[in-house]
Copies of this chain bind each other. A is one copy, B any other.
């Protein structure tokens, strides 16, 4: 057993989550950035523990390169993009989108080995996705995210850097029973008294849970066009098609809708996580509603509410991560699973299977 494969087998976790180590599979699409973040100004970002520079060519094509010049390792992101070449800030070497050096200012010949790694990118919805594993192993496209740019939807997106391993966020968003406690002042959705049904649909983890009529979280009433504390029937349905993305649908049924009025609404969250530096995660989130043209002020207020709730998660997860890192017992500590952990435990199984496959276990 090699050193890396120890990642998920040490400690007293029944199914380890590798939260103190590099536990990110490489042969999959992770989110590199929101589409608007990538421009002709280079963007420096740590992705899967590597420094990466992201920028756009003049035709709009996004590019991702290792952010270390192969000459003296200066960060290319400190340079500028000129004629679709990124120029190293130190000695002015230039590189194309394929990572090949195209110019050395002080000499005519260009060493063949003067190149940096270029990473495949794809755009899906409002996000740009990166493949940092073996490019030969690309066997699927990024998760379909069309609703995030669909004019039929009203869409909020946001970003947080979280100083915790990405899998802690995964486990968090796939067990919503924490909403009744951690978010009792924000979501105020306190009816999570039973665990959801969890199933696998192929490789996709799915959970489903129906709620009897009860007041809808004040975070979302305005965006749905309801008055505050509106009583609705609610079906929660979540699915995780990739370790990088999970969705959380709030299917709302208006019990008082007039005869010609709309009765059924969807509020769709997406939780997108990308490992950054060791122990840090880029967390992109989406909150969206299947009606067009929600007023900007309502979306802004909704976004502020969502952020205040997600900050509660961020704060707690960071405390967990920091504590485990500092505690000499680390992962060697009791851990029990509850009925509500079905989806979270499934995440660990999917993760272990994927890492084992990549690492040849």
Task: Give the residues in chain B near A278, CB-CB below 8 Å.
Answer: 328
Q: Does A68 contact B333, Cβ atoms closer than 8 Å?
A: yes
- The oligomer's copy count stands at 3
Enumerate chain B residues within 8 angstroms of A116, measured Cβ to Cβ. 334
Mask of A318-334 contacts with B, CB within 8 angstroms, 1/0: 01100110111100011
A49 interface residue per 8 A CB criterion: yes
Of the residues B72, B192, B193, B337, contact of A335 by C-beta under 8 Å: B72
Which chain B residue shows the least CB distance to A334?
A: B70
* Nearest Cβ on chain B to A104's Cβ, whole angstroms: 6
Contact among B22, B74, B115 for A328, CB-based, below 8 A: B22
The segment from A28-36, A106-114, A154-162, A235-243 that touches chain B is A106-114
Tally of chain A residues near chain B (CB < 8 A): 59
Which of A87-95, A210-218, A224-232 contacts the other chain? Answer: A87-95
With contacts A78-B319, A323-B68 known, is A338 near B22, CB below 8 A? Answer: no
**In whole angstroms, how far apart are the Cα atoms of A175 and B69 in the complex?**
16
Interface residues of A in 297-341 (CB under 8 A from B): 316, 319-320, 323-324, 326-329, 333-340
Residue in B74, B326, B327, B329 whose CB lies within 8 Å of A320: B74
Task: State in angstroms the CA–CA spacing of A195 and B104 once bound together.
Answer: 11
Residues of B contacting A177 in the complex (Cβ-Cβ under 8 angstroms): 91, 105-106
B72–A195 contact, CB under 8 A?
A: no
Chain B residue, CB-CB nearest to A22: B328
CB <8 Å contact, B70 and A336:
yes
Is the C-beta of A122 less than 8 angstroms from some C-beta in chain B? Answer: no
Select from chain B the residue with minimum beta-carbon distance to A19.
Answer: B73
Minimal Cβ-Cβ distance residue in B for A67:
B323
Q: A182–B80 Cα gap in the complex (Å)?
A: 12
Asked if A83 is at the interface of the complex by the 8 Å CB criterion, the answer is no
Could you tell me the dominant secondary structure of chain A's interface residues?
A: loop
Confirm or deny: A51 has a beta carbon within 8 angstroms of a beta carbon on chain B: yes
Residue A180 is within 8 A (CB to CB) of chain B in the complex: yes
A50 at the interface (CB under 8 A from B): yes
Question: A207 to B130, alpha carbons, bound, how many Å?
Answer: 44
Known contacts A75-B319, A90-B181, A316-B90; A327 and B68 CB within 8 A of each other? yes
- List the B side residues contacting A323 at CB < 8 Å: 51, 67-68, 73, 75
**Option from B106, B192, B337, B338 in Cβ contact (under 8 Å) with A193:** B106
The 9 closest A-B pairs by CB, nearest first: A92-B181, A106-B340, A70-B334, A107-B339, A106-B177, A111-B336, A91-B178, A114-B336, A113-B336
Q: A87-B181, A106-B193 provided; 17 other pairs, C-beta below 8 A?
A: A51-B326, A51-B327, A68-B323, A71-B338, A72-B171, A72-B335, A74-B319, A75-B316, A91-B175, A91-B338, A92-B180, A105-B180, A106-B194, A106-B338, A107-B340, A116-B334, A277-B326
